[in-house]
Amino acid sequence: MKKVLIFILVLPVIVGSAQNPGSNHHLGQCNPKTMPVLWQQTAAEYRALCYQAFNLATLRINAIPAKEIKKGNLAIVTDLDETIFDNSFNEAQLILDHQSYSDSNWKAWTRLHAAPALPGAVEFLKATHARGISIFYISNRDTSEIKCTLENLKALSLPCADTAHLLLMSDASTKGPRRNRVMRYYRIVMLLGDNLNDFASCFERKSVTERSSEADKLKEEWGDKFIVLPNSTYGDWENALYNYHKDFSAEAKDSIRTTLLKGYK
Ligand SMILES: [Mg+2]
């Protein structure tokens, strides 16, 4: 009886694949983003890493003496996407729809202002703000996304959800000038991000090797002033693989990835 039931359940999948070799099932397996997106959406290890980052961040914030906070003008700077907001639903939808990332499909997602928070993010930001420290959100979402981004921050009841504390990208993607704007009036005690460009300009447009060597130079900062969140789906770690060429075909990217793999034979 059990065998018959399994056969009935599995049959449509087999027939479906045979009739339509380009089905979601088939292509989903080939898409290089499938595994990292699934990791973000299903791996308890991903959740644990997020909690670990925010627990460590909380320890660092709590170690700041109250009298130092009382002097005023302390701030933290945080990125948004894959640092506070979980956008894996957009990435998953792209895979299911056989689409690649575009400005328009990204904005179709952000317009919904429905991104949930990474595990631990809301509690950390609320606790930091409650200690009297300002929060600045520096994101490379563009300025046309201000309204929906604020709506998303408010939907998560996050502190400092206003235009004074949200610095989106108006021209250049570099975040240095926006960090400098904050530093004119505040002392930044912590930065959070999933992309090393969220922390310092020394990582921008650098090769794979240079990025690693810059990360090594700053080894004292990670887990101290710099708190990193995991993102294996996208980011400048990936752009560096293709030497920042945006227009390579999927086949060309695949070939570059294979070339960069380091085996042992
Ligand atoms: Mg990000």
232 CA from centroid of ligand 1 (Å): 11
* Of 33, 129, 42, 137, the residue nearest 84 (C-alpha): 137
82 CA from centroid of ligand 1 (Å): 5
Residue 20 domain flag: no
Residue 24 domain flag: no
122 CA from centroid of ligand 1 (Å): 16
101 CA from centroid of ligand 1 (Å): 15
Q: Are 193 and 178 in contact (CB under 8 A)?
A: no
Which tokens sit at 142?
Answer: 């563009």
Q: Are 229 and 83 in contact (CB under 8 A)?
A: yes
142 CA from centroid of ligand 1 (Å): 13
Residue 2 domain flag: no
Write the single-letter amino acid at 162: D
The percent of residues in the chain predicted with pLDDT above 90, rounded, is 86
- What is the CATH classification number for the domain harbouring 111? 3.40.50.1000
- Quote the CA–CA distance of 159 and 139 in Å, as a whole number: 16
121 CA from centroid of ligand 1 (Å): 13
Residue 8 domain flag: no
Give me the domain span that covers residue 140: 32-260
131 CA from centroid of ligand 1 (Å): 25
Number of domains present in the structure of the chain: 1
- Quote the CA–CA distance of 200 and 223 in Å, as a whole number: 15
Residue 10 domain flag: no
79 CA from centroid of ligand 1 (Å): 6
188 CA from centroid of ligand 1 (Å): 18
Longest dimension (CA), the chain: 74
The three-class DSSP label of residue 117 is strand
- Quote the CA–CA distance of 37 and 157 in Å, as a whole number: 26
Sign of the Cα torsion 124, 64, 202, 220 reads negative
Contact residues for 212 (Cβ-Cβ < 8 A; gap 6+) = none
Band (16; pLDDT cuts 50, 70, 90): very low
- Quote the CA–CA distance of 186 and 194 in Å, as a whole number: 23
**20: pLDDT strictly greater than 80:** no
193 CA from centroid of ligand 1 (Å): 6
201 CA from centroid of ligand 1 (Å): 15
Residue 128 domain flag: yes
What pLDDT was estimated at residue 14?
A: 40
**1: pLDDT strictly greater than 50:** no
* Of 77, 79, 173, 153, the residue nearest 110 (C-alpha): 153
Cα angle: 213, vertex 218, 221; to 5 degrees: 150
69 CA from centroid of ligand 1 (Å): 27
Mean pLDDT of 93-116: 97
Contact residues for 227 (Cβ-Cβ < 8 A; gap 6+) = 53, 54, 56, 57, 60, 190, 191, 192, 193
Band (173; pLDDT cuts 50, 70, 90): confident
Mean pLDDT of 132-153: 98
Write the single-letter amino acid at 254: D
Residue 46 domain flag: yes
Tell me phi and psi for residue 19, to 5 degrees.
-75, -30
Residue 122 domain flag: yes
185 CA from centroid of ligand 1 (Å): 24
Can you give the pTM of this predicted structure?
0.89
Q: Are 144 and 103 in contact (CB under 8 A)?
A: no
80 CA from centroid of ligand 1 (Å): 6
